[in-house]
Structure 1
Amino acid sequence: MGKFVLLDARLFAPGADLSGASNKIELTSEIEDKDTTNYRSGGWKEVIGGLGSAEISGEGQWEAGDPSKVDDASWSTLGGRGPYTVCPTDSVVGALAYLVYGLRTDYKVGDAVGEVAPWAGTVKSSWPLVRGQIAHPPGTARTATGTGTVLNLGAVPAGKRLYAGLHILSAAGTTPSLTVSIESDDGAGFASPVTRATFDAAAGPGGQIARTDGLAITDTHWRVAWAVTGTGPSFMFAVSLGIR
């Protein structure tokens, strides 16, 4: 990916797509530096890495009146933790994505008379910030059980994990139920898929996050699988995956 202008960045809160109400998204990550300078440091300051942290800050145009709107979504998550996914360019399968499990720490609304009503808010990380890809796009409705596009994310080394963020954006039908899982295989054909993580069954909008146990996984290919039940069910959801 070369240089580009920010025109279609995407922001997914736990159960809402806030992209259409956002005009500024900033993502920061840092590692705390701890001083270890001593008499054998050769006259130079020495530091080692301490605690890591990440933060997402967003701004945009205020809207309310539906769980998918920024005001409703912000109030329902304020003070709570959930998955957040940021995409710099788009949210098609394979698009670059940053995901984190974070705490919604603040929410600000209002401005001077005559201004477009704004909002601003911040999310601070509770898990590591992960760089990955979109594994399931937000704009495709699922009405029956199936599997998604295969991604070659690579193997998971020992001590690292596969992280997955699920954003259920809408649900319709009578007693609809959606169960999403993450599968891996050693080849793109998925001749012998292995389930690596399964999210809780859901009947409506919301967000979940999952990660593997830190053991090595030699499989290199990954995909999303979903089971849909109910009468006339239909779900819109997005999934982001990454290894860290």
Structure 2
Amino acid sequence: MSHFVLLNCRLFTGGADLTGSSNKLELSAEVSDEERTNFGSGGWKEVIGGLAETELSGGGQWEAGDPGRVDDARWTELGGLGPWTACPDRADLGALAWFTAAMSGKYKLGDQVGAVAPWEGEAKGSWPLVRGQIAHPPGTARTATGTGSGIQLGAVPPGKHLYASAHVLSIAGTGSPSITLGIESDVDNTFASPTDVATFAAADALGGQITRAPGPVTDTWFRPKWTITGTGPSFLFVVALGTA
């Protein structure tokens, strides 16, 4: 990815796609520097990395009246822990994605007369910040049990985890439609002998989940799978995968 202008950032929190309500997105990661200077340091300070922290923030135009709109989503998630997934440029299959489990600690709305009603929100990470890829794009509706396309992440080494975030953005159908998402792996993109790596809880309402599976995982290809129930069901969802 070369230099580009921020025009099509994507932001997903819980069960909301906030892309159409956002015009600002910031993500920061920091590792504290802990001093370990001693008499053998030659007169120079020495530091080592300490605790890491992540902060995410967004803002834009305020909307309300639906679980997928910013006011409903931000108010519901305030004070809670859930997945935030951010893409600097589109959310197509394989697109760069940053995600983590974060505590939504701030929500602000309102401005002076005559202004387009704004909103601002902040969250602080409670899990590692993961640099990964979109494994299922948000605009592809699924109506039956199936699997997605594979992405090549590489093996998960010992001491690391495979992380996965999922946001269920739209549900249609009757007979209590439900979707259960999971992640499977294999040695190549044919997925001739896939292995289950991670599973999410069944979802029958808009919302987000994040999970992780410990390494080592020697397989290098990963893809989402889903089991769908209900009458005339249709689901929109986005999945991101990465190793940290």
- Give the match for residue 94 of structure 2: 94
The RMSD of aligned alpha carbons is: 0.6
1:45 maps to which residue?
45
Q: Distance in 2 between matches of 1:83 and 1:107?
A: 16
Alignment of 1:221 onto 2:221: yes
Give the TM-score of the pair, scaled to structure 2.
Answer: 0.99
The answer for the alignment partner of 1:176 in structure 2 is 177
How far 1:40 moved relative to its partner? 0.6
Deviations 1:161-211 (A, max 9, x none): 100000000111121010000000011101110000000011110011110
The equivalent of 1:149 in structure 2 is: 149
Structure 1, unmatched stretches of 5+, are: none
Q: In structure 2, what residue type is equivalent to 1:78?
A: L
- The equivalent of 1:205 in structure 2 is 206
Q: How far apart in 2 are the matches of 1:232 and 1:142?
A: 11
Give the count of matched residue pairs. 243
Q: Within 2, Cα distance between the matches of 1:142 and 1:78? A: 30
User: Secondary structure, in 3 states, of the residue corresponding to 1:72?
Assistant: helix
Which residue number in structure 1 is paired with residue 55 of structure 2?
A: 55
Q: Counterparts of 1:91 and 1:188 in 2: how far apart (Å)? A: 21
1:43 Cα offset (Å): 1.0
SS in structure 1 opposite 2:56?
strand
* Aligned residue identity for 1:73: A
The 5-angstrom pairing of residues 28-177 of structure 1 reads: 28-174=28-174, 175-177=176-178
| Matching residue of 1:195 | 196
**What amino acid is aligned across from residue 203 of structure 1 in structure 2?**
D
Counterpart in 1 of 2:27? 27
Aligned to 1:71, the other structure's residue is in SS state: helix
Letter in 2 for 1:147: T
User: Structure 1 residue 14: deviation in Å?
Assistant: 1.0
The Cα offsets for residues 13-40 of structure 1, whole Å up to 9 and x where unpaired, read as 0110001000000000011111111111
* Cα distance in 1, alignment partners of residues 9 and 43 from structure 2: 45
SS of residue in 2 equivalent to 1:68: coil
Report the Cα distance in structure 2 between the residues aligned to 1:146 and 1:176, rounded to whole angstroms: 15
1:208 corresponds to which letter in structure 2?
Q
SS in 1 for 2:89: coil
TM-score (ref. length: structure 1): 0.99
SS in 2 for 1:188: coil
C-alpha separation between the residues in 1 aligned to 2:188 and 2:108?
47
Amino acid at match of 2:78: L
Aligned-residue offset at 1:160: 0.5
- In the alignment, residue 123 of structure 1 is paired with which amino acid? A
Q: 3-state DSSP class of the match of 2:128?
A: coil
SS in 1 for 2:79: coil
How far apart are the structure 1 equivalents of 2:86 and 2:2?
18
1:12-23 aligned within 5 A? 12-23=12-23
**What is the CA-CA distance between 1:42 and the residue it aligns to?**
1.0
TM-aligned CA deviation for residue 122 of structure 1? 0.2
Give ranges in structure 2 of 5+ residues lacking alignment: none
CA positional deviation for 1:218: 0.7
Matched-pair identity in %: 61
